[in-house]
Amino acid sequence: MSGNVRLLSDTLAAAKEEGRSALIAYLPAGFPTVDGGIEAVKAAIEGGADVVEVGLPHSDPVLDGPVIQTADDIALRGGVRIADVMRTVREAHAATGAPILVMTYWNPIDRYGVERFTAELAEAGGAGCILPDLPVQESALWREHAEKHGLATVFVVAPSSKDERLAEITAAGSGFVYAASLMGVTGTRESVSTQAEDLVRRTRATTDMPVCVGLGVSNPAQAAEVARFADGVIVGSAFVKRMLDAPDDAAGVEAVRALAGELAKGVRGQV
């Protein structure tokens, strides 16, 4: 069974052909429940997201800010397992046909087994993985299995990354490059970092892959701002916060759908 790396590439290319950035949503698996999380992912796509990153909840995050940590804690207390993450990918992709990635730290994959994880993700229809804490120089085993199973390997670059380091990272990655717009953890911001545009420019000098920007985008105006210079706009904490603030699970799903629609207008410059 081969994963959907080609679907991911085609989806990003289609957005570019339309003269816009892609909208990429992030939502944790198992939040507020496994079933509720699946409905939220489907709602994000139905609302206007082109791609979804499904977070694998982790007890010791290094990139996630307090909003996503809160959602992860709820998911972990609810007993979420890797099997639930795979089910989330499988059901969301089957229902929407959209590319679904998993965003995870390395330790859960290492404990689960690289071959087992990549085979199951491909079987579920997954498009690949974003691996924020896996150093490129230690990624050969992962990349071998991901390539064998048709999965993208998305690495994260940061404003602190030197040009030669950017070239090393982009040469090893596939699908797209995740450009972290600022140093620090995830979370909504009042404004988008001015470092982001420079990072995209420097990253593009090393690769033909799409460069998508995350960390800090929370509203349509910010999405439109980032869409001016990035191939994709990644939004996570704003979706999770809407769900945390909702009076019940059903309202949270509708809040995700509504925000996706607002942000979809933003990446199209309709704000």
Q: Which strand (E) or helix (H) includes residue 73?
A: helix 66-77
Annotated catalytic, 64? yes
* Burial classification of residue 141, based on how many CB atoms lie within 10 Å of its CB (0-12 exposed, 13-18 middle, 19 or more buried): exposed
Is residue 203 helix, strand or coil? helix
**One of 53, 84, 91, 225 is an active-site residue; which one?**
53
21: DSSP letter: P
| Residue ranges of E strands in 108-244 | 128-130, 152-154, 156-157, 177-180, 211-214, 232-235
How far apart are alpha carbons 207 and 204 in whole angstroms?
5
The owner of tokens 């040009």 is: 163
**One of 39, 50, 64, 197 is an active-site residue; which one?**
64
How far apart are alpha carbons 17 and 127 in whole angstroms?
21
Quote the tokens at residue 194: 């001015």
Residues, the chain:
271
Candidates 214, 223, 213, 215; CA nearest to 263 is 223
Annotated catalytic, 123? no
206: DSSP letter: T
Q: Which strand (E) or helix (H) includes residue 202?
A: helix 195-204
Contacts of 194 (CB under 8 A, 6+ apart): none
- What letter represents residue 11's amino acid? T
- Known catalytic residues are 53, 64
